[in-house]
Amino acid sequence: MWTKDRRILLDAPPDEDTNPRPEAIWPTDAVRTGLSGVVAPRVIRLPDGMYRMFYTQILPQPGHPGGANDYDHSMARIISAHSTDGENWQPEPGVRLGPVDAGNDILRVVSSEVVPTADANTLRMYFECSAGPQSDSNSIRSALSTDEGLTWRLEEGDRLAKRGCNYSAPRIVFLDNGQSRLYCYERGRGIISAIAGMDGLQFQLEPGVRIAQDGPYDRCFAFAPEIVRTPETPSYVMYYAGYREPNRAFILRATSSEGLNWIKEPQPAISPGPTGWDAAKSSEMCIIRLPTPPGSPPRYRMFYEACDGTAQGERGVWRIVSATTT
């Protein structure tokens, strides 16, 4: 069971700051109407015990003042924050990965997944790379870091791309046989998967759909998987964002014994609202295990993107918030 933590962890830039510094912090009462937003959190624990969160900042594009509320014409970059306890977060200077890093025609780099490689000193980031509207083809690409995620070097080629397909929100699971399985959202279909060898570079699509868009809470979109395996649940557990309507999103849960065939749970793990920063949408998430004293039951924290629904069409301001297991 999850209990929402009643605070905003990372807030969107206010309307007046359309070219914000990555490390900027603003007053909570600054005017925000959804021109900018922060979404897609991904948290790793560093060797010294500190946490680093990679997240996406959505900003207006010159000539398209709608910003995040006009997502197809917005810009997006991946920035980061650090924390010693997983509760209090400090935005960090510098852009971890921006559109210019991925190519001259790119508008958005979004939804990072950060995992270790065979080299203990190297991290790999998988991310969505988009040059235009969500209806256009895009790709999943990757980059490497040797300084705990502060600077990144783009790897050549696409990890996953197919003409006519739009992929987003990648997640990686390392299999017992040394292969890597990539889960992501394919626009119009739901959550799919692809498999790669030990190098984690050349992914081949697997047949079928892992999570179809056919339930009462995900009939519009089944999006943004987060897959966990724990000592308490040796089977696979997936949390994902289910859109019942375009203006209402829930965090849903499914289970699988082998990672391919999934059984959806009937009720949401987290629902939007009824008021506040997630009044309209509770969406893309990641989960970490919190430190616990010996003999105590394990506790987990979920970081997720939340939309308050205060703009036209129940769009609005996207922020990063959290919930903790009870």
- Structural domains of the chain ordered from first start: 2-19+33-325 (2.115.10.20)
pLDDT on residue 109 = 97
| 47 closest CA partner among 112, 142, 123, 113 | 123
pLDDT on residue 103 = 80
Tell me the per-residue pLDDT of 219-261, one tens digit each, with 9 for 90 and over: 999 999 999 987 766 789 999 999 999 999 999 999 999 999 9
pLDDT on residue 280 = 96
Structural contact between residues 218 and 236, judged by C-beta atoms closer than 8 angstroms: no
Average pLDDT across the chain, whole number: 95
Task: Give, rounded to a whole angstrom, the gap between the first and last alpha carbons of the chain.
Answer: 6
* Phi, psi (degrees; rounded to nearest 5) at 218: -135, 30
Buried b (16+ CB within 10 A) or exposed e, 49-81: eebbbbbbbbbbbeeeebbbbebeebbbbbbbb
pLDDT on residue 181 = 98
Tell me the per-residue pLDDT of 303-315, one tens digit each, with 9 for 90 and over: 999 999 999 888 9
Considering only 75-84, 200-209, 245-254, 270-279, which range has the smallest mean pLDDT?
270-279
Residue type at 115? V
d(CA 321, CA 153) in angstroms, rounded, equals 29
- Listed in order, strand segments (DSSP E) in 175-314 are 180-186, 190-196, 204-205, 211-212, 221-228, 236-245, 248-256, 263-264, 281-290, 299-307
* Phi, psi (degrees; rounded to nearest 5) at 72: -60, -20
* Phi, psi (degrees; rounded to nearest 5) at 179: -75, 165
Structural contact between residues 241 and 269, judged by C-beta atoms closer than 8 angstroms: no
pLDDT on residue 313 = 85
| 138 closest CA partner among 99, 177, 171 | 99
Structural contact between residues 200 and 117, judged by C-beta atoms closer than 8 angstroms: yes
- The model's confidence at residue 214, banded by pLDDT at 50, 70 and 90, is very high
pLDDT on residue 12 = 98
Query: pTM higher than 0.85 for the full model?
Result: yes
Tell me the per-residue pLDDT of 64-111, one tens digit each, with 9 for 90 and over: 989 999 999 999 999 999 999 999 999 999 999 999 998 878 999 999
pLDDT on residue 212 = 98
